[in-house]
Amino acid sequence: MRQPLGEGGARARQGLHLRRRHEVPDAGHRGRQAGRAEPAGDPGQPRRPLRRPAHRQLGADGGGRHDRLRLRRRRRLGRSPRPRPAGCARRRARRVRERWWRRARLRGGADRLARRPHARGRRGRDRAATGVAPTRVTGPAGYRVGIDVGGTFTDLICVTPDGEVLLDKTPTTPDDQSVGVMQGIALLAQRAQLSTADFCARIDALVHGTTIADNTMIEMKGASTGLLVTRGHRDEIEMRRVHKEEIWDPSYPAPLPIARRRARIPIPERVDFEGRVVLPLDENAVRKGVRRLRQLGCTSIAVLFMHSFTNPSHELRARELVLEEFPDVEHISLSHEVLPRAPEFERTSTTLVNAYVAPRIAHYTRHLTDELRAAGYAGQMLIMQSTGGVMPPDYVARKAVSLLGSGPTGGVMGAAVAAGRSGVRDFVAVDMGGTSYDVCLVRGGAPEIKTDWNWRYRYYIGLPMVDVQSVGAGGGSIASVRQGALLVGPESAGAQPGPACYGRGGARATVTDADALLGYLPVEGFAGGRMTLDVDASRAAITRDVGKPLGLDVIDAAWGIERIVNANMANAVRRVLSTHGADPRTMAMIAYGGNGAVHAWAQAVELGIRRILVPKSAPAFSALGLLVADYLIDLQRAYVVPLSQVDVARVRTLMSEMLDEADKELEPANLGEGHVQTQLFAQMCYPGQNFDMSVPVPEGTSLGDGGLLDLAGRFHDQHASDRGFSFPNQQPLLRGVRLVASGSTPKPDALARTGSTVDASQARKGSRGVWFGTEFVDSPVYDGVALGPGATVEGPAIIEEPFTVVVLAPGNVARLDQHGNYDISL
């Protein structure tokens, strides 16, 4: 008969648990009776747990799935929830465990419990990759280099001491991106007519954009990560705020876990929201948990305790204990350092991702700086962040999560500078490369910054990011027919083997093959004169993959590929603009990337856009954006209170702390007086809202009680402007303060090299047939290198630059302005 619900029954209802030998014990459970001596032995070795009644073996955080299912079956049969004899239970648990390990070995890779550490080499505290010595070469030095690693090509740009801009490209080397980077530097050295060693010795600044963090999350090949978390919050990361990408699919799988449940150790401790210690940190539980994580093969550890952003003492002490028990740990992420604000899920997800990608980032930056030092570069490398600013490697190694989504950010920052010089402040920036198509809205000369609901690779990232949305549409996007429908992307041929026309072994039809067949691309002199396109291979691939399955001739099939990919890109632009309430008919478009200028005219027609800007440096525009980006630090402090109850003195103290921290982080940059700008914000919302907005606080640390009314007014006005409504009679809620500190870097005077020919007819190279939807139109071809400011070209026409092509449809007019931008009117 069913056991009465007494003390034992109540605990059993919470979930009975038979602890197995290889399972992480609940760190808050003492594991022995009061007054019983601890058995002798090495505390770092796993020990067979003491047998005890079932209701004492389980806590709310423990409990294997098989044990719970067995107890449910026993209750349905009317039996006591007491377990079987200990020996039988243990044998059954061992069989289950062995089957689990057998499945894990078959699955391999990301599903293994204890992954091998990704980054090899020496180990040490935090494994922060430090930049090379900050000394600079004096004398005639002055080269400034930007290197952006894309999915297909690595873009390179160099501004010489006399202001000349050099562009180049080299295929990306996915297995080791540093190989492609060093090959690109060698190409730039050849362009500058210097040896690689002399060129590196004369570099003043080197700024790098990398996709290592994104690739780590895509492949799920980060460090084996463990988590020390406040007891009761062990499963926060799996609850995900009940967020599900496919809400109508109940069988949609959960994301691959960064830290498996047995590698998430609950720790007894508690700090309340005001920073008061409610339950002291159980240091013994921390030590046991760290030893357990070490046994599981974890090489990176995240620490997340409740309300640590108000009082970080427990997390700081936990780091000390981790280093004592596990001195060889590669990285430790403390949540109050990664994301010092609530809510808990956002902080948990962001901290775990940081711990997951940081060792690989540190390994890569350390390896690349060693390569640069060996080549003769003695300066400091800067790395682009997703906030649109740059920082040195030691900073990004600690906040590696800030690199997620940073790949397209450089292009957006470059677009903002280039458009601003041409007098355009409201536009949509589109970057079409070989693999993806990136879209960002820029209003008032500044890109949209998204501070909430940033999901990357099914994990929430709580840091501010430039709001760039990407779709799988690029020159390498593969065209195929499935169930009678023509699909283009997101699968890409990449750099290797590439499109069929590259002649590198690629056999599948791609967007670039359609571009070549329709006359948009030059057959001779492609990619800066290094490649000749095989149009016959493009024709064969398109006929086989698209034409025959759909019963179309090869030209109609190629045009179908163009129409589909252009529609996909136009829809991506619509989604971004509609999210922010922007009308495309009132916006300009800046198109860059190797393929952006080829397809811009078709997208503009579909969207109703009447003006397009194409920079001459468009093929390497993301690399150029790296050179115009500033140092940038974004800091936050939590302080949740109704505005009427704000302690202004505490707000000023938090602001002062952030200013001191920003000064400390920017100190190695040796920025002079007047080169650092700071902006202070109050994070505010209405009661009941989940997400806040940044409201400027121009008073800064001199904010007084009277300034709170002005702050409330600014919040109501900004809420009405950004979200279309406000509640002026409702008291806002303060959720924290934010600081954005930027240190200005030198900007090149010219963003591209221009020619001297004003009369476009003198730069005409010939003509060729180009397909514009109904027939091939004989279109003049112009040498873009020769064109100078003031040159005007009327469509239909083709303007060939070394690494891209500007396509002008009939009726389009392009004028090259003094800043090196083709200003196209439709």
pLDDT in tens, 316-349: 999 999 999 999 999 999 999 998 887 888 889 9
> Do you find a cis peptide bond into 497, omega within 30 degrees of 0?
yes
Claim to verify: residue 674 and residue 720 sit in the same structural domain:
yes
Q: Residue 196 phi/psi, 5° resolution? A: -60, -40
Claim to verify: residue 686 and residue 639 sit in the same structural domain:
yes
Q: Residue 812 falls within a domain, yes or no?
A: yes
Claim to verify: residue 342 and residue 232 sit in the same structural domain:
yes
Domain span at residue 484 reads: 477-565
Claim to verify: residue 711 and residue 771 sit in the same structural domain:
no
Tell me the C-alpha to C-alpha distance, in Å, between residue 429 and each of 90, 99, 296, 408, 804.
Answer: 61, 52, 46, 10, 17
Claim to verify: residue 237 and residue 346 sit in the same structural domain:
yes
Q: Let me know the angle formed at the C-alpha of 617 by 612 and 619, rounded to the nearest 5 degrees.
A: 90
Claim to verify: residue 678 and residue 645 sit in the same structural domain:
yes
Partners of residue 677 on adjacent β-strands: 742
Q: Residue 215 falls within a domain, yes or no?
A: no
Claim to verify: residue 247 and residue 339 sit in the same structural domain:
yes
Residue 784 pLDDT level (bands cut at 50, 70, 90): very high
Tell me how far apart the alpha carbons of residues 397 and 416 are, in angstroms, rounded to a whole number. 27
Claim to verify: residue 658 and residue 776 sit in the same structural domain:
no
Claim to verify: residue 717 and residue 793 sit in the same structural domain:
no
Lowest mean pLDDT, pick from 25-29, 462-466, 487-491, 670-674 = 25-29
Which of 184-198, 280-294, 362-376 shows the highest mean pLDDT?
280-294
pTM given for the model: 0.73
Domain boundary among 565, 582, 615: 565
Task: Give the tens place of pLDDT for each residue, 235-273.
Answer: 988 888 777 777 788 888 888 889 999 999 999 999 998
Domain boundary among 513, 536, 565: 565
Claim to verify: residue 725 and residue 776 sit in the same structural domain:
no
Q: Residue 509 falls within a domain, yes or no?
A: yes
Q: What is the mean pLDDT of residues 220-233?
A: 93
Q: What is the mean pLDDT of residues 512-540?
A: 88
DSSP one-letter string for 28-89:
T---S-TTPPPPPS-TTS--PPPP--HHHH--TT---HHHHHHHHHHHHTT--SPPPPHHHH
- CATH classification at residue 735: 3.30.1490
Claim to verify: residue 727 and residue 779 sit in the same structural domain:
no
Q: Residue 767 falls within a domain, yes or no?
A: yes
Tell me how far apart the alpha carbons of residues 476 and 465 are, in angstroms, rounded to a whole number. 27
Contacts of 30 (CB under 8 A, 6+ apart): none
Residue 813 pLDDT level (bands cut at 50, 70, 90): very high
Q: Are 511 and 596 within 8 A, CB to CB?
A: no
Q: What share of the chain is helix, strand, coil (3-state, %, to 5)?
A: 35, 25, 40
pLDDT at 44: 43
Q: Residue 57 falls within a domain, yes or no?
A: yes
Tell me how far apart the alpha carbons of residues 504 and 483 are, in angstroms, rounded to a whole number. 29
Lowest mean pLDDT, pick from 113-117, 193-197, 565-569 = 113-117
Q: Residue 82 falls within a domain, yes or no?
A: yes
Domain boundary among 352, 372, 389: 352
pLDDT at 57: 43
Q: Residue 386 falls within a domain, yes or no?
A: no
Claim to verify: residue 234 and residue 344 sit in the same structural domain:
yes
pLDDT at 95: 38
Report the number of distinct structural domains present in the chain. 5
Q: Residue 16 falls within a domain, yes or no?
A: yes
Task: Give the tens place of pLDDT for each residue, 135-151.
Answer: 333 334 488 999 988 77
